[in-house]
């Protein structure tokens, strides 16, 4: 996984300094116990982790919005809680004033930096000129992504026609250069910073100093966090997937699945127990139900869930218009108090049993209902590829896009799933799980 922005290390370093200096200053100011190094270290590390999980370092989507301001404040609050608990329960220290002033100091400093960074990013930073080799579908797709992500600070300087093709392009206002033999001259005259190769050609014979060259699928991944799907990239992914299978990764992932599942089951037992009892008291039916889901290599299994709907037969209202599931906000089958249970994903806690049985993983593509999988396999190219690995309780697609029901959204979700397949590793999967938990606790994991 690579990033197009070099601003992330700078922002990360600034956050580290502010978290450390502010916490150390107020810690000494209130004359707390001498072992201040540990609480300060915990706040700094927790703060950086929380800010990362709340997408503060996702520069391609950076913007100075009210929502991002709230997420920054929320992250700083979460960062202080572990150390405050340590100080209060272990040392009996009155930490309320420290809690308030440290949060406000860090928040004001980090927010001020982000305001300045936002102004620099959108009004001062040099806009990079992108030259796209090709005028085909790939060229159109990457051009759409570049034009749609203003925070990348990139603009399309032109397309270069390759192999005398006459395909469509995105914007008629963008010039199309006819002679790829003049590539060096085109790069120099248009002050090109990056060349994206959308259509392969054998006519590239000169490498210009200071200019970065990327294959379109690689550039697409860095710009979007998604996998570009076509016949060639799927073939490459298959060979990479088959070649990189290792016993060490499989062992570590299985150990991680078992440990994480047990922790989640134990920690959430009071919540799931009370919820299950209340569901049973609502209509007298079992609070646990199973549904046939499709897992690795298309193998079906019984997936456990907390029942959050009144006991009845499932008939989607929008089936006639191509819908295979209900929108949660419009679904009157949901037991009223269970709407937040569904948003927080507490109804899926029993899936930890499937994880312990080895039918699912903590992180992976979503385990879909067998009836909709039959439809998706027929209508969405390469949908089967997501079944190369175990389905997951959460995943890269779930935390980026959430639950979706129509073909267009499911097709996009597949690009996230295949991106996960390409770059999966246990450390990244731990980060995905932690972020999913934060989103669930905030009721934002749809």
User: Would you tell me the crossing angle of helices 8-29 and 37-53 to the nearest 10 degrees?
Assistant: 140
Interval 91-108 mean pLDDT? 82
Q: How far is CA 282 from the centre of its chain?
A: 36
Question: Residue 437 has what pLDDT?
Answer: 82
Label residue 40 by pLDDT band (50, 70, 90): confident
Q: Cα dihedral sign for 186, 192, 198, 204?
A: positive
Label residue 90 by pLDDT band (50, 70, 90): low
Whether residue 376 has pLDDT greater than 50: yes
Whether residue 47 has pLDDT greater than 80: yes
List Cβ neighbours of 249 (8 Å cut-off, separation of 6 or more): 425, 426
Nearest Cα to Cα of residue 162 among 189, 199, 119, 188: 199
What are residue 98's phi and psi, to 5 degrees?
A: -60, -45
Interval 8-27 mean pLDDT? 86
Tokens of 413: 């979700």
Q: Using an 8 Å Cβ cutoff, are 47 and 71 in contact?
A: no
Question: Residue 36 has what pLDDT?
Answer: 58
| pLDDT over 90, % of the chain | 31
Each residue's pLDDT tens digit, 332-374: 677 777 777 777 778 889 999 999 999 999 999 999 988 889 9
Each residue's pLDDT tens digit, 261-292: 999 999 989 988 888 888 888 777 788 889 99
Each residue's pLDDT tens digit, 297-309: 999 999 999 887 7
Which single residue is written with the structure tokens 């520069």?
A: 59
Which single residue is written with the structure tokens 């990479």?
A: 240
Task: Please give the residue that has the higher pLDDT: either 6 or 1.
Answer: 6
Tokens of 313: 């037969």
Q: Please, what are the domains in the chain?
A: 8-124 (no CATH), 128-224 (3.40.50.720), 243-441 (no CATH)
Question: Residue 324 has what pLDDT?
Answer: 47
């Amino acid at each position: 996984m690579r990033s197009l922005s070099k601003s992330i290390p700078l922002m990360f370093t600034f956050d580290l300094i502010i978290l450390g200096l502010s916490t150390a200053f107020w810690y000494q100011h209130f004359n707390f116990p001498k072992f201040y190094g540990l609480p300060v270290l915990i706040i700094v590390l927790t703060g950086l982790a929380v800010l990362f999980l709340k997408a503060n370092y996702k520069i391609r989507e950076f913007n100075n919005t009210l929502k991002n301001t709230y997420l920054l404040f929320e992250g700083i609050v979460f960062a202080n809680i572990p150390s405050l608990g340590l100080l209060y329960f272990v040392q009996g220290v009155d930490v309320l004033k420290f809690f308030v002033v440290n949060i406000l100091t860090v928040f004001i400093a980090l927010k001020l930096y982000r305001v300045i960074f936002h102004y620099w990013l959108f009004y001062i930073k040099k806009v990079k000129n992108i030259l796209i080799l090709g005028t085909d579908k790939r060229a159109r797709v990457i051009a759409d992504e570049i034009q749609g992500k203003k925070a990348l600070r990139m603009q399309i300087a032109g397309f270069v026609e390759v192999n005398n093709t006459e395909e469509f392009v995105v914007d008629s206002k963008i010039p199309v250069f006819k002679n790829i033999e003049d590539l060096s001259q085109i790069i120099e005259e248009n002050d090109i910073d990056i060349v994206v190769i959308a259509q392969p050609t054998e006519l590239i014979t000169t490498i210009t100093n200071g200019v970065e060259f990327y294959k379109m699928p690689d550039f697409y991944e860095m710009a979007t966090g998604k996998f570009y799907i076509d016949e060639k990239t799927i073939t490459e992914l298959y060979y990479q997937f088959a070649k990189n299978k290792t016993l060490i990764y499989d062992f570590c992932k299985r150990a991680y699945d078992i440990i994480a599942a047990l922790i989640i089951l134990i920690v959430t037992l009071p919540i799931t127990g009370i919820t299950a009892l209340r569901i049973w008291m609502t209509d007298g039916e079992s609070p646990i139900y199973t549904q046939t889901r499709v897992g690795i290599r298309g193998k079906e299994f019984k997936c456990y869930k907390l029942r959050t709907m009144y006991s009845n037969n499932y008939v989607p209202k929008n089936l006639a218009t191509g819908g295979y599931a209900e929108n949660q906000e419009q679904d009157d089958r949901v037991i009223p108090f269970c709407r937040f249970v569904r948003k927080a994903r507490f109804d899926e806690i029993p899936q930890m049993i499937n994880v312990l049985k080895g039918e699912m993983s903590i992180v992976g593509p979503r385990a879909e209902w067998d009836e909709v999988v039959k439809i998706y396999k027929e209508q969405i190219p390469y949908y089967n590829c997501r079944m190369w690995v175990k389905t997951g309780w959460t995943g890269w697609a779930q935390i980026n896009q959430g639950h979706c029901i129509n073909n267009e959204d499911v097709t996009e979700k597949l690009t996230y799933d295949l991106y996960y397949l390409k770059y999966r590793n246990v450390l990244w999967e731990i980060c995905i799980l932690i972020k999913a938990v934060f989103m669930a606790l905030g009721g934002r994991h749809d």
